[in-house]
Amino acid sequence: MKLYLDFDPCQECNTMMAELSSPEMLFADEKTRSDESAKFLRHLTYNHNEVVQAVMEDLPKQKKGSRT
């Protein structure tokens, strides 16, 4: 998973992004990798919700009834 977003990663983000792109992770099995990705996404959801919102808005799908 590659995630280059315009936000201020905290220490935890940096650690997890480093883990995700580490050589160990490249050779890890799929479950480990998806676990790590899920962990990172969960962290983003709870700690950097604006990033998640931005990603959602970036997705090429129709959004209706969004609050403004």
CB 29 within 8 A of CB 64: no
Tokens 């201020």 belong to: 8
The CB-of-66 to Zn ion minimum distance in angstroms stands at 25
CB 63 within 8 A of CB 57: yes
Stretch that binds Zn ion, among 9-17, 21-29, 32-40, 56-64 (CB under 5 A): 9-17
The CB-of-43 to Zn ion minimum distance in angstroms stands at 6
The CB-of-22 to Zn ion minimum distance in angstroms stands at 17
CB 1 within 8 A of CB 37: yes
Q: Which residues bind Zn ion (CB under 5 A)?
A: 10, 12-13, 47
